[in-house]
């Protein structure tokens, strides 16, 4: 009896190790990276520094959720940073002029969803290249951001607006961390336990086969982009409530961190593969890497080189893994 139970446990362990091979590998790298930096600097493993990194990656984490879903469908969303900027600016301008928090937050979410819907219709229904479409909407959103704000900063919000970005539960645990992990938990469930999640994986693996099995490919692809836009609106809410201001440059270049987090976490750029567990690891790996470079006094201009190198290595590792699987067959 005990022997059978041991064999079953071992089988489950092997299955988990095989299914989450990439995620476990990245987790191991993250642990080693964390341990090395803890010895390299006495300031790294402090509560203040860890909370600082968590705060810095909060918006990226939400955008990375949407980015992961889009990449799983074999697409890409380059507009997430500009969508964050535009939705944040529109919402903050309304908030500044009306002092109505609900109205301002709803505006942020609505703008994010609207941009995602436009991307989704163009990519899903009109079947235009995702790279070109989202590159175009990225430029449009950033331009509208500057036009609406006149390149100025929106501020003077009600004090209660800072609750999501600065509030703490029990006087110790930040509200935004609870919010972020709640979003991850919801979408981990969506991707693993719902038809919608399975449809996205099927579409990313082979869109034509998915269509022949009765999956509404166009609608589900559109919804992936809508969710990406929604996450941008929520990310704008977190960022602006934390800083209690909104500048026209907010979100500039954020799409690269979101893509990096997803890819480093094991999401395949060719689609059909990836998990939000891996994306969580990718988010924190990118965030702590930036933080470590700052603490160690590395020139800030080298940060892009470091992040870019990690992305290339992650993609190369995925390619080598695929070649290894083909050879074994």
Give 59-88 as a 3 state SS string: HHHHHHHHHHHHHHCCCCCCCHHHHHHHHH
Q: Encode 290-300: b = buried (16+ Cβ within 10 Å), e = exposed.
A: bbbbebeeeee
Least confident range from 106-120, 130-144, 248-262: namely 248-262
What percent of the chain is modeled with pLDDT above 70?
90
Token pair in block for residue 73: 């469908």
The predicted model gives 36-58 an average pLDDT of: 83
Least confident range from 49-63, 64-78, 310-324: namely 310-324
Mean pLDDT of the chain: 87
pLDDT at 5 over 80: no
pLDDT tens digit string along 245-281? 999 889 998 998 999 899 888 898 889 989 999 999 8
pLDDT at 312 over 90: no
* Beta carbons of 134 and 115 less than 8 angstroms apart: no
Of the pLDDT bands very low, low, confident and very high (cuts 50, 70, 90), residue 324 is: low
The predicted model gives 109-114 an average pLDDT of: 97
Which pLDDT does position 89 carry in this prediction? 95
| Distance, C-alpha 299 to centroid of its chain | 26
Query: Which is more confidently placed, 7 or 247?
Result: 247
The predicted model gives 146-156 an average pLDDT of: 88
Which pLDDT does position 328 carry in this prediction? 61
pLDDT at 77 over 70: yes
Please tell me the distance from the alpha carbon of residue 320 to that of residue 22, in angstroms, as a whole number: 12
Coil, strand or helix at 186: helix
pLDDT at 293 over 70: yes
Give, for 173, the enclosing helix (H) or strand (E): strand 173-174
Please tell me the distance from the alpha carbon of residue 310 to that of residue 305, in angstroms, as a whole number: 9
Coil, strand or helix at 169: strand
Please tell me the distance from the alpha carbon of residue 254 to that of residue 141, in angstroms, as a whole number: 14
The predicted model gives 140-151 an average pLDDT of: 92
Domain extents for the chain?
Answer: 23-37+44-319
pLDDT tens digit string along 223-255? 999 999 999 999 999 999 999 999 988 999 899
The predicted model gives 119-131 an average pLDDT of: 96
- Bridge partners (DSSP) of residue 258 are none
Please tell me the distance from the alpha carbon of residue 299 to that of residue 267, in angstroms, as a whole number: 30
* Beta carbons of 156 and 104 less than 8 angstroms apart: no
Report pTM. Answer: 0.89
Which pLDDT does position 16 carry in this prediction? 59
Which pLDDT does position 295 carry in this prediction? 83
pLDDT at 303 over 80: no
Q: Which CATH architecture has domain 23-37+44-319?
A: Orthogonal Bundle (1.10)
pLDDT tens digit string along 168-212? 887 778 899 999 999 999 999 999 999 999 999 999 999 999 999
- The neighbour count for residue 309, using CB atoms within 10 Å, is 10
């Amino acid at each position: 009896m005990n022997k059978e139970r041991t064999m079953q446990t071992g089988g489950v362990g092997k299955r988990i190790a095989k299914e989450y091979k990439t995620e476990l590998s990245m987790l191991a790298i993250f642990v080693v990276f964390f341990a090395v930096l803890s010895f390299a600097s006495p300031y790294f493993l402090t509560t203040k520094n860890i909370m600082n990194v968590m705060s810095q990656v909060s918006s990226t984490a939400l955008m990375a959720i949407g980015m992961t879903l889009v990449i799983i469908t074999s697409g890409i969303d380059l507009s997430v940073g500009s969508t964050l900027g535009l939705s944040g600016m529109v919402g903050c301008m309304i908030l500044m002029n009306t002092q109505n928090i609900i109205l301002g937050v709803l505006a942020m979410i609505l703008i994010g969803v609207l941009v995602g819907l436009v991307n989704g219709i163009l990519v899903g229904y009109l079947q235009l290249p995702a790279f070109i479409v989202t590159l175009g909407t990225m430029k449009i959103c950033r331009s509208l951001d500057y036009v609406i704000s006149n390149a100025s900063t929106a501020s003077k919000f009600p004090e209660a607006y800072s609750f999501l970005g600065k509030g703490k539960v029990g006087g110790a645990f930040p509200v935004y961390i609870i919010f972020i992990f709640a979003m991850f938990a919801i979408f981990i469930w969506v991707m693993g336990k719902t038809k919608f999640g399975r449809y996205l994986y099927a579409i990313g693996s082979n869109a034509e086969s998915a269509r022949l099995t009765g999956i509404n490919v166009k609608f589900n692809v559109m919804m992936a982009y809508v969710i990406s836009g929604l996450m941008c609106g929520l990310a704008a809410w977190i960022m602006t409530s934390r800083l209690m201001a909104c500048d026209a440059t907010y979100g500039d270049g954020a799409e690269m961190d979101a893509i990096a987090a997803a890819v480093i976490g094991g999401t395949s750029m060719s689609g059909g593969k990836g998990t939000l567990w891996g994306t969580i690891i990718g988010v924190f790996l990118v965030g702590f890497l930036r933080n470590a470079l700052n603490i160690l006094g590395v020139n800030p201009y080298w940060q892009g080189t470091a992040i870019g190198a990690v992305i290339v290595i992650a993609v190369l590792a995925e390619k080598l893994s695929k070649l290894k699987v083909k050879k074994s067959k």
